[in-house]
């Protein structure tokens, strides 16, 4: 398949009631416009989405699995960072 010559794009779709775009998969396309159309045809066939973002996979800077521990382990024992140690007054709404 000559598709391997086309760059890889990552696809993000926002659902009807979802507030965020969510990563749903990837595809090949010659450019962003084609990626958007391909994403529509591949990832919204079952009435999933109301908005699509595509981004070249090569443009994403990702954390490395090798750095998992130095990146994420230090936050594992700091339960006090969750704001659950307060008494919330009854008249404070939306908490």
Q: Note the residues at the interface with another protein (CB under 8 A).
A: 1-3, 6, 13, 15-18, 20, 22-24, 27-30, 33-34, 37-38, 40-42, 44-49
**Closest separation in Å from C-beta 80 to another protein:** 24
Of 75 and 85, the one with the shorter C-beta distance to another protein is 75
In whole angstroms, the minimum distance from the beta carbon of 25 to another protein comes to 8
Vertex 59: Cα angle to 3 and 25 (nearest 5): 55
Q: Are 6 and 30 in contact (CB under 8 A)?
A: yes
18 phi-psi bin (left φ>0, alpha ψ -120 to 50, beta other): beta
């Amino acid at each position: 398949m000559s598709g391997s010559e086309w760059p890889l794009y990552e696809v993000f779709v926002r659902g009807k009631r979802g507030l965020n775009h969510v990563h749903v998969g990837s595809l090949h396309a010659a450019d962003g416009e084609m990626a958007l159309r391909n994403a529509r045809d591949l990832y919204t066939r079952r009435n999933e989405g109301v908005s699509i973002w595509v981004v070249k996979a090569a443009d994403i800077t990702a954390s490395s699995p090798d750095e998992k521990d130095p990146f994420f382990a230090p936050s594992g024992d700091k339960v006090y960072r969750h704001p659950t140690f307060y008494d919330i007054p009854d008249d404070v709404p939306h908490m």
